[in-house]
Copies of this chain bind each other. A is one copy, B any other.
Amino acid sequence: MRNIVVKELNQTYIEDLEIEIVERKGIGHPDSISDGIAQAVSNALCDMYQKELGEGNILHHNTDEVQITAGDSDPEWGGGIIRKPIDILLTGRGVSEYNGIKFPLERVAIKAAKDFLDETIINLDVELDTVVECKIGHGSGDLVDVFDRSPEAIPKSNDTSFGVGFAPLSEVEKLVLATEELLNSKEFKMDYPAVGQDIKVMGLREGDEISLTIACAMVSKYVNNREEYIEVRESLKRIVEELAPKYTKRNVTVDVNTGDNDDIEDKSGYYLTVTGTSAEMGDDGSVGRGNRANGLITPCRPMSMEATSGKNPVNHVGKIYNVLANKMANDTVNEIEGIKQMHIMLLTQIGSPINEPTASIQVILEDGLELSDVEDDIKKVINRNLDNIRDITKMVIEGKARTF
């Protein structure tokens, strides 16, 4: 039985907090690469199962464990090489045999991981700069029972778990997200090939002062010397300073690569990489340690620890509810006037139909509004989303729902 409870959120409105911290690990950060691979592998397995068994027939799997062990590299002004490849271990579980059909689990998983790397870290030579090993376990076919595969059937929750979401994003949240998305956009890379994908954006708001601290791995072959490096770095600073006013009227200061040491000419003073990700040399990564399902790390907001990326999108509520709660919150604030802030928590017990959670909704309303003014409308949005919960599976597979 669904249980939808709507309450007022007794809490300082996010924009009125004295201090707000927001972080995003860009798509080339080792933790994000892990998330991305985990999700890409899950999507590929979904495709594999559906192609063989028919639309909607997805067998059990969870590929939400990827361990990236950093390689070794030698970036140089205007060049550089990878000495030792990045190790990428795929693990988790999937069904490799069902009704006599054997699935090429390993091959499909490895292909998905390599394709993801190839598209995402454009200066990585996947074949020589990485070793992708697959230890995905072969779950028995028994587990398949969980999934009744007729489209109307509602899967049972695989665990006692919960998901959280909120909307709308605060100014700092929007700005942090937009900054990383801009710097990692295809268009931007055309103009600034030196800017790698490993971009970490940390936003700190103290009162009305926002500071953005950006750590950005530069691609060594596109910066021939210290001067060029500094030029790119200063451009980044300027570009983000120009971006900021679109998202806030507050004062924004931008720092890029604060660890640099401009007093020395040597490459050692700079954040230089061959491939554009620190996974090439120093930094390991794994799934679920970075961005939450909405793309951000927000210690001032409710967060779930569940890794959203890589879990099966059919009955793993640890995944589905995080995606769904954010969608519900966004739908609600977009469709209903007067909601300043909204938190959603969805909970269920193992074995319950996934569309029958307890939904705890909390809202901060615009002045003059009463909860009773919006409560029914909110429940309508929530119910509609729960009625269509199986769409989440599709959205995830088709890449229309963010998971990290």
Task: Assess whether A243 is interfacial by the CB under 8 Å rule.
Answer: no
C-alpha gap A136/B20 in the complex (Å)? 35
| Stretch among A302-310, A373-381, A389-397 lining the B interface | A302-310
Binary contact readout A251-264 vs B (1 if CB under 8 angstroms, 0 otherwise): 00000001100000
Residues of B near A360 (CB, < 8 A) are: 18-19
Task: Assess whether A297 is interfacial by the CB under 8 Å rule.
Answer: yes
Number of copies: 4
**Which of B74, B85, B87 has a CB less than 8 Å from the CB of A135?**
B87
C-alpha gap A269/B273 in the complex (Å)? 42
**Which of B206, B259, B287, B300 has a CB less than 8 Å from the CB of A286?**
B287
Interface size band for A: 35 or more
C-alpha gap A142/B67 in the complex (Å)? 26
A137 touches B70 (CB 8 A): yes
B132 touches A131 (CB 8 A): yes
Task: Assess whether A89 is interfacial by the CB under 8 Å rule.
Answer: yes
C-alpha gap A83/B103 in the complex (Å)? 7
B69 touches A137 (CB 8 A): yes
Residues of B near A297 (CB, < 8 A) are: 305
Residues of B near A44 (CB, < 8 A) are: none
Which A300-341 residues have C-beta < 8 A from chain B? 300, 302-305, 307
Task: Assess whether A223 is interfacial by the CB under 8 Å rule.
Answer: no
Chain B CB within 10 A, most for which of A11, A65, A111: A65
- Chain B's nearest CB lies how many Å from the CB of A81? 5
C-alpha gap A300/B82 in the complex (Å)? 44
- Chain B's nearest CB lies how many Å from the CB of A395? 23
B286 touches A286 (CB 8 A): yes
A350 touches B135 (CB 8 A): no
A85 touches B110 (CB 8 A): yes
- Chain B's nearest CB lies how many Å from the CB of A273? 15
B83 touches A160 (CB 8 A): no
Which A248-282 residues have C-beta < 8 A from chain B? 258-259, 268, 282
Binary contact readout A78-104 vs B (1 if CB under 8 angstroms, 0 otherwise): 000111110101011100100000111
A69 touches B74 (CB 8 A): no
Task: Assess whether A105 is interfacial by the CB under 8 Å rule.
Answer: yes
Query: Which residue of chain B is the closest to A93 with respect to CB atoms?
Result: B282
5 contacts between A and B (CB under 8 A): A11-B12, A65-B67, A65-B286, A74-B102, A299-B305
Give chain A's interface residues, CB within 8 Å of chain B: 5, 7, 9-12, 18-19, 21, 23, 65, 67, 69-70, 72, 74, 81-85, 87, 89, 91-93, 96, 102-107, 110-111, 114, 126-129, 131-135, 137, 139, 142, 160, 162, 164, 202, 204, 206, 213, 215, 258-259, 268, 282, 284-290, 292, 297, 299-300, 302-305, 307, 345, 347, 349-351, 358, 360
* Pairs A-B, 6 closest by C-beta atoms: A67-B67, A83-B104, A10-B12, A84-B106, A65-B284, A19-B360
